[in-house]
Amino acid sequence: MSALVRPRHGRMIAGVCAALADRFGTSATTMRVIFLLSCLLPGPQFLVYLALWVLVPAEKNYAAV
């Protein structure tokens, strides 16, 4: 498993689902569908998404020399 960082590429909104997908070894689309389906259930899913957006660091952009 890789570190939990929001990627620069492949994100739709904030990159949270893409980061979780990379961390758990699944596709970003699968993670997005899981998140959308979880929103049908009662709970703080949207607040957790916002918290991860703030807490999970963005991927560093290293310039090629």
User: Over the stretch 19-60, which tens digit does the pLDDT of each residue have?
Assistant: 999 999 999 999 999 999 999 999 999 999 999 999 999 988
Report the C-alpha gap between 55 and 18 in whole angstroms. 15
Count the neighbouring beta carbons within 10 Å of the beta carbon of residue 28.
18
Full domain range(s) for residue 40: 16-55
Residue 55 C-beta-side C-alpha neighbours within 13 Å: 8
Report the C-alpha gap between 51 and 27 in whole angstroms. 22
Report the C-alpha gap between 48 and 65 in whole angstroms. 38
State how many domains the chain has: 1
Distance of CA 30 to the CA centre of its chain: 11
Which pLDDT does position 61 carry in this prediction? Answer: 77
